[in-house]
Amino acid sequence: MDTVRPFSQVLDRLRSAGLRPTRQRMALAKLLFDEGGRHITAEMLHAEAQAESIRVSLATVYNTLHQFTQAGLLREIVVDSQRSYFDSNTTRHHHFFNEQTNELADIPDEMIDIAKVPSAPAGMKIKQVDVIIRVGNL
Amino acid sequence: MDTVRPFSQVLDRLRSAGLRPTRQRMALAKLLFDEGGRHITAEMLHAEAQAESIRVSLATVYNTLHQFTQAGLLREIVVDSQRSYFDSNTTRHHHFFNEQTNELADIPDEMIDIAKVPSAPAGMKIKQVDVIIRVGNL
DNA sequence: GTGTTTGCAAAGTGTTTGCAATTTA
DNA sequence: TAAATTGCAAACACTTTGCAAACAC
């Protein structure tokens, strides 16, 4: 029942990704990983940081999100051609996307059963299977 | 084996969508629907039109793509947070997305078997189920 | 000290918008 | 001729970049 993610764990995550644990990265990592399964855009994360009086530029938020994604700490979810969403849950799962509110919600992997998947075209390899269920008002 | 889409059919499509069959819309509709299952961006369609000496502004291409989508003649496919793709095949099917070449390929509906789908959150309705298989080099 | 990271402002990219001129019915 | 549509250029939203100052080791 230990859901707390101690400071050192964030630190280790950054270290093992080869990223220096700077003040900004530590603070953003805390916001992203202290609670699981966050779906967040750069603007949202920047606003959250500001709300907690963490001084970070928007440019650094963008850089950090990409660095974390490259390091496998985040997963980018493409649901909206206007903005990029990042998911702090990198395990296999899928998403609901509410087109009215622009909100993402997780669908646990076991809730979707893809019985048959075509193989990738010749010379290609499947990198990821994304299932996005778009929902809206009745 | 009649795969030709006569002029009048394009005309009727526009008419029944409540869209006046202007020169631009007719020409773009021809490009979009004369061959099935096209995956195209606004810039791509604009370039094609220019290549065929059809004079249309990029703004009109954007407007037209959205009008056609609203009319159910096109389907927007969100795979890339940088640009919008439109699919001239509006029947149920899914997609491969090649992240190296930024190209989409159809996956016929019967090639994917989604045996179990969670129901939409309360008060919500499933609008669409998108399966995107991201592929890349081996 | 040396190389990395940050913040700023400027530039970039894809898309939308306001409005006068044109076209359609 | 009334209403819809077009094209242009300007505006927009989101994202990236160049570079000097600040920071981590």
Q: How far is the CA of A64 from the C1' of D24 (A)?
A: 17
Contact yes or no for B87/B39 (Cβ under 8 A): yes
| Mean pLDDT value across chain A | 92
Residue ranges of chain B whose CB lies within 8 Å of a chain A CB:
76, 78-84, 96, 98-99, 105, 107, 111-118, 120-121, 123-138
Own/partner contacts of A5-14, CB < 8 Å, gap of 24 or more, are: A5/A33, A5/A34, A13/A73
- β-strands B85-87, B75-77: how paired? antiparallel
Percent of chain A with pLDDT over 90: 81
Contact yes or no for A33/A10 (Cβ under 8 A): yes
Residue ranges of chain A whose CB lies within 8 Å of a chain B CB:
76, 78-84, 96, 98-99, 105, 107, 111-118, 120-121, 123-138
CB contacts of A109 in chain B (<8 Å) are none
The answer, yes or no, to whether residue B29 has pLDDT greater than 80, is yes
Grade residue B2 by pLDDT with cuts at 50, 70 and 90.
very low
Closest CA to A81 of A63, A60, A53, A102: A102
Q: Which residue is nearest to nucleotide C5 (CA to C1')?
A: A22
Q: How far is the CA of A76 from the C1' of C14 (A)?
A: 20
pLDDT value for B75:
97
Q: Please give the model's pTM, rounded to 2 decimal places.
A: 0.91
Q: Report the C-alpha dihedral over residues B105, B30, B27, B103, rounded to 10 degrees.
A: 10
The answer, yes or no, to whether residue B57 has pLDDT greater than 50, is yes
Instruction: Average the pLDDT over A69-87 and give the result.
Output: 96
Instruction: Average the pLDDT over A102-114 and give the result.
Output: 94
Grade residue A8 by pLDDT with cuts at 50, 70 and 90.
low
3-state helix, strand, coil in chain B (%, to 5): 35, 30, 40
